[in-house]
């Protein structure tokens, strides 16, 4: 009994043109399929134009800034967490409010 069609894999009876080389890429008349696809992509990319909204540009910039930020200092976080849990960390609400106002005024300029 010979199996001629497999609905799951559908690649049982391949011809020589469909065989793959050692890198797993199909050969098409001496060229690799991936190089043919990249040539077609280059043609499409040359003709395509993409407009990115200002909001998307800003999101990209924010992401870049966030990725450039230093890692979190776990020891410092643990220290302040212990202070807060024990009730020893006191927040000067007047200083926080003053700083928020100053930062807001600087951002406007």
| Residue 44, both tokens | 């499409």
Clarify whether residues 73 and 104 are in a common domain: yes
Q: What's the gap between Cα 104 and its chain centre?
A: 32
pLDDT number for residue 7: 56
For residue 83, what pLDDT band results from cuts at 50, 70 and 90? very high
Phi/psi zone of residue 87: left (φ > 0), alpha (ψ -120 to 50 degrees), beta?
A: left
* 3 falls within a domain: no
Q: Write the pLDDT tens digit of every residue in 4-56.
A: 555 555 555 545 545 555 555 454 454 455 555 666 665 655 567 888 899 99
Following DSSP, what letter does each residue of 42-63 receive, concatenated?
A: HHHHHH------HHHHHHHHHH
31: β partners:
28
Clarify whether residues 70 and 26 are in a common domain: no
* 8 falls within a domain: no
């Amino acid at each position: 009994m010979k199996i001629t069609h497999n609905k799951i894999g559908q690649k049982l009876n391949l011809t020589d043109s469909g065989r793959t080389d050692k890198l797993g890429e199909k050969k098409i008349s001496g060229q690799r399929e991936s190089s043919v696809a990249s040539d077609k992509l280059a043609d499409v990319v040359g003709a395509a134009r993409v407009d990115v909204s200002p909001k998307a540009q800003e999101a990209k910039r924010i992401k870049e800034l966030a990725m450039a930020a230093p890692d979190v200092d776990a020891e410092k976080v643990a220290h302040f967490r212990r202070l807060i849990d024990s009730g020893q960390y006191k927040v000067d609400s007047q200083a926080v409010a003053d700083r928020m106002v100053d930062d807001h005024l600087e951002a406007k300029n």
